[in-house]
Amino acid sequence: DWTPGNIVADAIARVREQVGDGKVLLALSGGVDSSVVAALLHEAIGDRLTCVFVDHGLLRYREGDQVMETFAQHLGVNVIRVNAADRFFAALKGVSDPEQKRKVIGGLFIDVFDEEATRLEGIDWLAQGTIYPDVIESAGASTGKAHVIKSHHNVGGLPEHMRMKLVEPLRELFKDEVRKIGVQLGLPPAMVYRHPFPGPGLGVRVLGEVKPEYVETLQLADDIFIDELRKHGLYDKTSQAFAVFLPVKSVGVMGDGRRYDYVVALRAVETIDFMTARWARLPYEFLELVSLRIINEVDGISRVTYDISGKPPATIEWE
Ligand code: XMP
């Protein structure tokens, strides 16, 4: 019967049988699926797993360091971190169209991963965090966002020479099952139960052109929002929550002075399937506290708004 322990034992046995004494490469993103694959493969084949973590500089506050702490330090997984933020920012310079930004980020992600993979010798397998809903999704939709969403980690998106044999140990599992086995494998529950995060990361949460200073500001504001949600027991009651950076300036006052600074929008939704969503009815007192903290603590922000748009007609992300 279905227990996380049985599923883990079964998945480990299958991986061992499939890859034999081969070597496996995994693109670790810090997201739930690739994290669980990393933990599972490490358990199954130890040092024969190498993870490449492409840090595009568009992650949440301190997230890159946390990935390294969890996997490299804590679990002893072989992880190569590629600090590619400068390259991503350079490539994004002057690009403001949302789809164009996604293409730039997705394309460069593959290039950087490929460069790193080419340096490694004797890799036989490429591991992917494909889960059951992905299998269904790519069988159906071939146009629109569903396709775009997966373009990051799809084999189809990889260069010809990288089309190695695939190992996809989560292929038959649903998200909640993936989470349970993640905890079983010793991943921190806070990581495993984290809200979804888009592949292009903060690249689509800074509206328009992405600049490093905007990303840095957004990371701080977002971290305050998430931190307060957790402290108030609201994090697990929302399906997804985050801050968005609006590159428009508005007037504010500080002491005797006048300030003219940027705007942050807070977004929090409740949803089952992310296809439709309702804006979260967060308490006013809570929103007030978050707003005050962001304006007081984050340089360059003088106004905070709360997004009260449902999906549809709005999408969850702003881009
Ligand atoms: P939207 O904004 O379309 O988002 O209502 C629905 C869910 O998908 C996530 N999302 C993405 N995930 N790459 C991803 O990996 C993307 O380009 C992307 N765009 C949206 C979004 O965070 C939400 O959970």
Q: Are residues 16 and 95 in the same domain?
A: yes
Whichever domain contains 252, its CATH number is: 3.30.300.10
pLDDT tens-digit profile of 189-237?
999 999 999 999 999 999 999 999 999 999 999 999 999 999 999 999 9
CB of 32 closer than 6 angstroms to any ligand 1 atom: no
Please tell me the pTM assigned to this model. 0.92
Closest residue by Cα to atom 24, ligand 1, is 196
Atom of ligand 1 lying closest to residue 148 CA: 17
Where is average pLDDT lowest: 53-57, 90-94, 163-167? 163-167
Domains held by the chain: number: 2
Q: Are residues 147 and 231 in the same domain?
A: no
Domain region containing 253:
205-306
Domain boundary among 192, 223, 243: 192
Atom of ligand 1 lying closest to residue 317 CA: 2
Cα distance between residue 106 and residue 158, in whole Å: 11
Atom of ligand 1 lying closest to residue 197 CA: 22
237 domain-assigned: yes
Q: What is the pLDDT of residue 243?
A: 99
Tell how far the Cα of 317 is from the centroid of ligand 1, in angstroms.
Answer: 6
pLDDT tens-digit profile of 113-167?
999 999 999 999 999 999 998 898 777 654 433 333 334 444 455 666 666 899 9
Nearest to 123 by CA among 165, 160, 80, 75: 165
**Could you write out the DSSP letters of every residue in 219-242?**
HHHHHHHHHHHHHTT-GGGSSEEE
315 domain-assigned: no
Torsion-angle region of 254 (φ positive above 0: left; ψ -120 to 50: alpha; else: beta) = beta
Q: Are residues 182 and 75 in the same domain?
A: yes
Tell how far the Cα of 10 is from the centroid of ligand 1, in angstroms.
Answer: 31
Complex ipTM: 0.99
Tell how far the Cα of 224 is from the centroid of ligand 1, in angstroms.
Answer: 22
Q: Are residues 82 and 173 in the same domain?
A: yes
Domain boundary among 171, 192, 213: 192
317 domain-assigned: no
Q: Are residues 188 and 244 in the same domain?
A: no
List, as residue ranges, the binding site: 29-35
Tell how far the Cα of 255 is from the centroid of ligand 1, in angstroms.
Answer: 40
Closest residue by Cα to atom 20, ligand 1, is 198
Q: Are residues 186 and 51 in the same domain?
A: yes
Domain boundary among 192, 227, 262: 192
Q: Are residues 25 and 166 in the same domain?
A: yes
Q: Are residues 64 and 42 in the same domain?
A: yes
Q: For residues 181 and 10, is the Cβ–Cβ distance under 8 A?
A: no
226 domain-assigned: yes
Residue 238 vs residue 163, higher pLDDT: 238
Q: Are residues 160 and 253 in the same domain?
A: no
